[in-house]
Structure 1
Amino acid sequence: MNASITPKLRASGLSHGFDGRAVLRDLDLSVRGGEFVSIIGPSGSGKSTLLSILTGGLRADAGALEVDGRPVERPDADAFAFMPQRDVLLPWKRIVDNAAFGLQLRGVPRAEARRRVASLLAEFGLSGTERLYPRQLSGGMRQRVALLRTVVQERGLVFLDEPFGALDAITRLELQQWMARMWDRHRWTVVLVTHDIREALLLSDRVLVLAGRPAGIATQLQVPRDSRIRDRDFLLEPDVVRLEKQLLDALAAHTAAVTEEE
């Protein structure tokens, strides 16, 4: 792992609420350069609120954010790329122009944006799709286009919001394994928000459990990353199974605590 000394992203003491109800309180988060970190938690635990703060959609009520060691009120859109749950491809644009759209929004000329996209199509398994429209692709292929559109912008930080959640189980696993290979090749700095514990284990260096009411980081687990191939057999290895149980136990403890409060 090529980890930088200064964290790529640091959040300290984040707190936020809506209509007098606290959602996050005193949350601390640090992500090293080249690290893949997943954040999991039950529905209503504050994952979306946290992601909105980290991507500049919300301003926290309290706390501090740093990107590359520099304090920021909100992360600059030029510092990160964001892939939402849905692919949000533009139906009237061909695949090459959909993938180049983020670059063009940044002012990159169309021809140059297309050139950058074309150089990555094969690596993303999209050769031959350049002139097709989104409706002509499967859900899994559309997500590959969306990810290409995200990372071709070459931002220092990538946020992923349940990018494979809408896919069927087989396609989801295929793309998770593909994503693991792609990350291993490029070592982007990634923050993934997901409900899927196995997805988090398959992809991550660390998995954080967001829990409590209001929420904070309740559990933090390191996932063994060595020469083993990240595939479904990886998820069956004893140490990974133990980690899955720890994460399930942490989520169950949160659910039980919330039920008692109610």
Structure 2
Amino acid sequence: MFLSPWVLGATVLTLLPMAVSLYLSFTDYNLFDPPSWVGLRNYTQMFTEDARLYRSVGNTLLYVFIAVPLQLALALAAALALKSMRRGRSFYRSAFYAPSLLGASMSIALVWRAIFNDGGTVDNLLSGVGVHIGGWVNQPGWALLSVALLTVWQFGAPMVIFLAGLQQIPQEMYEAAAVDGAGPWRKFASITLPMLSPVLFFNLVLQTIQAFQVFTPAFAISSGRGGPADSTLFYTLYLYERGFTSSHMGYASAMAWMLLLAIGIVTAVLFRTSKSWVFYANEEGG
């Protein structure tokens, strides 16, 4: 009885739409006429005829490889700084966490676009020190980086998780290492990272999954076109374009299922490789 609201919501809002999407991925559907069965044509077209699809995959992978490591590194650095802070910890923790609440909104993405536009704040600051790039969002080589930096700026959520993990590490381990003459870097490499590895793994999986689904920043910065020169054409943005702009909803549904499969494979690989670097204190021999 208590589970029934959740079961009903999951069925109506998740499982049923997924089943409909799976069916539509084998059809030609334009949102207006009844879907017609085409079998595997949408999937074969994805791999053999759609060059922009491969461009969107490349952009997405590059974005993931840039944004996720930088975001986690900054989150860990901020968590380490907050752990050693004696006064004002609550204020700075809230201040650092705020971008994670606001960064996914369209309004923040539009502000970010204005900051990195030609004549924007970043352009003026760089010009003041003799670096003339122009508007990042208008340069094919810099537009993707501007989107990645917006994700890096939202480091508050993984930072809070890192901070909780740091507070669970026994202080006695650091004191014993200090007695043995270990310095700060030695303590970080031999104590902090191994003890924090489960938390690091959790953040890595979570942020990687979210990065593969990036949409709002790219949509706002490129005005929904993935420009300039398709440099910000991420997979989800191209999916949206095929489904709602071109009205090829069957093809977009096939793209969505391929994205689900890709995220599942990446997550499985992360779990598989975690056995070699994630340390759990309750493991035998740990």
Q: Under a length normalisation based on structure 2, what TM-score does the superposition of the two structures give?
A: 0.27
Greater strand content: 1
Greater relative contact order, per chain length (Cα 8 Å cut-off, separation 6+): 2
Q: Under a length normalisation based on structure 1, what TM-score does the superposition of the two structures give?
A: 0.29
Greater helix content: 2
